[in-house]
Amino acid sequence: MSDYIRGLREKIGHDLLVVPGCAAVIFNDRGEVLLQRRVDDGEWALPAGIIEPGETPAETVVREVYEETGLRVVPIRVTGVYGGGDEWMHDYPNGDKTAVISITFECHVVGGVLQPVDGESSAVGYFALNALPSPMREVHRLRIHHAITQRDTYFKLPG
């Protein structure tokens, strides 16, 4: 948890907090997608995290990918903007409640060593699209699907 979020939590406790974040969809040369196994809930997920004050979304995704996977990346396109609905609500084991608004980028690896770095990931690896691991929330599968099938940025229209 960042110092910024920790400070907000000191004021609002476990109440619902809308958090802007970024996620990365990263494919290797075999078309496999990079996933991390999260320490907090044990689920497989795209590398992702919260935008810190003063950061651009692109800076956030570069930082988060490095912290969680050890890889250096360059964002190459926005694949989708997500939020709203129950699927974007998350209750953490400690009782914190969040509603996520996520900008998802496709990223290209330019360096680094694939390994968990900051303690948020217990494992990292590439997976074939027809053999994604479980447990994994549907929102991650959806973002992978959109990165593959949509040329334009995905966003849900009102209504």
| Tens digits of residue pLDDT in 22-79 | 999 999 999 999 999 999 889 999 999 999 999 999 999 999 999 999 999 999 999 9
* Residue 1 in this model has a pLDDT that exceeds 80: no
Cβ of 134: how many Cβ atoms within 10 Å?
A: 6
Q: Where are the domains of the chain?
A: 3-150
pTM of the predicted protein model: 0.92
Mean pLDDT of 131-140: 95
Is the pLDDT at 81 greater than 90, yes or no?
A: yes
Residue with tokens 């196994």: 37
User: Look-up: residue for tokens 């390994």?
Assistant: 115
Q: Tokens 């074939």, residue?
A: 128
Give the model confidence (pLDDT) of 82-119 as tens digits: 999 899 998 888 999 999 999 999 999 999 999 988 88
DSSP 107-120: EEEEEE--S--SSS
Give the whole-angstrom CA distance, residue 79 versus residue 131.
Answer: 22
Domain at 3-150, CATH class: alpha beta
pLDDT at 159 over 90: no
One DSSP character per residue, 15-69 reads SEEEEEEEEEEEB-TTS-EEEEEETTT--EE-SEEEPPTT--HHHHHHHHHHHHH
Distance, CA of 23 to CA of 34 (rounded, Å): 11
